[in-house]
Amino acid sequence: MPENTPARPGSFAEGRATRRQSPTVHMAIYLASDFHLGVAARLPSREREAQIVAWLDHCWRKDAEAFYLVGDLFEFWFEWKAVVPKGYVRFLGKLAEIVDAGVPVHVFTGNHDLWMADYLEQEIGVTMHHTGLRTELCGHRVLIAHGDGLGPGDHGYKALKKVFTAGWAKWLYARLHPNLGMGLAYFFSGKSRDSQPDEATFLGPEKEWLVAYSERKLAADPGLDYCFFGHRHLPVDYLLSNGRSRYVNLGEWLHYTSYCRIDVRGAELLYWNKN
């Protein structure tokens, strides 16, 4: 809303202003990842999109002062010079509404949508992050990253990511007709999903490479309070070896509808009701 537009009595804008002044309300920041819009899972993509829109709307009206959407929002995304993938209108519209109301939305690229360029920034006004971010949220020192290609091992993927993020690869891909480009991408993203190992159990600190990565970051940066990641598709809140800092995996929305809420008191892993 433009600054010179007075809020109507009882309007939503007025309600927010009142809540912000109340000393009893802890303003919060919300994080979520791995919506994978575009593929069906427990629900068809359009129904999952409606859930995400309802969640965004609920948090925004309640107490959100920012959102961090930590990668793989889309099963695949590519921006041709004048063309973007069809769909997701309600999701993108809700992001626009939130940004227009003055609440910042941060979007990270994931391995499925690493080709997001500046469309969401230009069209909606989100802040894009193509790498991890070290920042403060509600007074807590945090690291936020999608999580692909971090930690030990995974050399095949790391090499592939180097190729995919190279300017020439993006340029070549953009020469494909969108029908072919999108078709190929969906074919290969389905293949890679089929070859994934069982994601549903926590393998312990030795085998969970995002835990190993968090421990390494913590050794170099002992002030860190939280390490937030997506990518693993398993919601986890894990106490790191210093007995204080935590590794939080945001999970995904294909099955878990998990997210994290952080305020001055700390972070909490939560689940959106599954309507």
Q: Which stretch binds Mn ion (CB under 5 A): 9-17, 71-79, 184-192, 236-244?
A: 71-79
Decide if 149 contacts 158 (C-beta within 8 A).
Answer: yes
Contact 227, 219 (CB under 8 A): no
Residue nearest to Mn ion (CB): 72
Stretch binding Mn ion (CB under 5 A), from 10-18, 70-78, 203-211, 237-245: 70-78
Binding track, positions 242-261, relative to Mn ion; x by CB under 5 A: --------------------
Q: With binding defined as CB under 5 A, does residue 113 bind Mn ion?
A: no
Structure token pair of residue 1? 């809303």
- The answer to whether residue 72 forms part of the interface with Mn ion (CB under 5 A) is yes
Q: C-beta of 226: minimal distance to Mn ion in Å? A: 20
Contact partners, residue 2, CB within 8 Å, separation at least 6: none
Nearer to Mn ion, 39 or 117 (CB): 39
First to last CA, the chain: 31
Name the residue nearer to Mn ion (CB basis): 34 or 263.
34
- Say whether 70 sits in a helix, a strand or coil: strand
The answer to whether the beta carbons of residues 98 and 67 sit under 8 Å apart is yes
Q: Which stretch binds Mn ion (CB under 5 A): 23-31, 37-45, 64-72, 216-224?
A: 64-72
**3-class SS of residue 140:** strand
Residues 20-49, one symbol each (x = binds Mn ion by CB under 5 A, - = not), give: --------------x---------------
- Cα 160–Cα 120–Cα 96 angle in degrees, nearest 5: 145
Q: Where does this chain touch Mn ion (CB under 5 A) — which range of 1-9, 72-80, 83-91, 170-178? A: 72-80
Q: How far is the CB of 147 from Mn ion (least distance, A)?
A: 9
Distance CA 72, CA 36 (A): 6
Say how far apart CA 66 and CA 21 lie, in whole Å.
17
The binding site for Mn ion (CB under 5 A) comprises 34, 72
